[in-house]
Chain A
Amino acid sequence: KAGVTQTPRYLIKTRGQQVTLSCSPISGHRSVSWYQQTPGQGLQFLFEYFSETQRNKGNFPGRFSGRQFSNSRSEMNVSTLELGDSALYLCASSLGRTGWTGELFFGEGSRLTVL
């Protein structure tokens, strides 16, 4: 069974640009979430989607947005990039509420560097 796939794995952008990251969840998983990981703040929750609906949102500015498609694939977008947006962006998927065990399946992340 294929794991969570994130693309691109690495990218470099300059301040003011925008970026779109993509996530393909494990087949059959309908819940997708995004996290930002930095050395200073650790893993911080960005948003959670289930069946194309945003269920939860973290404390990030409106420059961070996301969406989920009918096939459960998800994208997140960051506009007007700032230096502090440099981070590893992790996508995770799960079955959702049914049979929840606290287990999120994470991808290997997209490492964004903003210059």
Chain B
Amino acid sequence: QKEVEQDPGPLSVPEGAIVSLNCTYSNSAFQYFMWYRQYSRKGPELLMYTYSSGNKEDGRFTAQVDKSSKYISLFIRDSQPSDSATYLCAMSFQGGSEKLVFGKGMKLTVNP
């Protein structure tokens, strides 16, 4: 079993839809949880960062962490064609370290 599991999709939705992306993990020592977005032929870029359990909202994006279930989610409201990209969850044991454990990524397409 991989430390971080993410459904690779692909996922195709119409413009304006609410998108839900999820990851599960097996190691309860993870403390820091991130979502990265990667456009084609580009490097990943950070979307959201949360520490421990709880919710965090930033515009159309909401990140949720449930440590008791070892489950994290990213919600995208009013999805736009520009949101079409691969979304990767990432986790870290230790703050300040660049050693992140990534999910395989979910390819999302938002159709106009």
Contacting pair A48 B88 (CB below 8 A):
no
Q: Mark A1-12, 1 if CB is under 8 A from B, else 0.
A: 000100000000
Contacting pair B99 A90 (CB below 8 A):
no
The prevalent SS among residues of B at the interface is loop
Which chain A residues in 76-115 approach chain B with CB under 8 Å?
90, 92, 94, 96-98, 100-109
Contacting pair B103 A56 (CB below 8 A):
no
Contacting pair B97 A55 (CB below 8 A):
yes
Q: Contact size class for A?
A: 20 to 34
Q: Contact size class for B?
A: 20 to 34
Contacting pair B88 A33 (CB below 8 A):
no
Tell me, yes or no, whether A31 is within 8 Å of chain B by CB. Answer: yes
Contacting pair A48 B102 (CB below 8 A):
no
Q: Mark B78-112, 1 if CB is under 8 A from A, else 0.
A: 00000000001010100111111111110000000
Tell me, yes or no, whether B75 is within 8 Å of chain A by CB. Answer: no
Tell me, yes or no, whether B46 is within 8 Å of chain A by CB. Answer: yes
Nearest-CB distance from A2 to chain B (Å)? Answer: 14
Contacting pair A102 B88 (CB below 8 A):
no
Binding site for B on A (CB under 8 A): 4, 31-33, 35, 41-45, 48, 55-56, 58, 90, 92, 94, 96-98, 100-109
Q: Contacts A43-B102, A94-B98, A103-B49 known; list 7 others, CB within 8 Å.
A: A33-B98, A42-B102, A44-B102, A92-B43, A102-B49, A102-B90, A108-B41
| Cross-chain pairs A/B with CB under 8 angstroms, 17 sampled | A4-B43, A43-B90, A56-B98, A58-B99, A92-B43, A94-B98, A96-B96, A97-B95, A100-B95, A101-B46, A102-B32, A102-B34, A102-B46, A102-B49, A104-B98, A105-B45, A106-B44
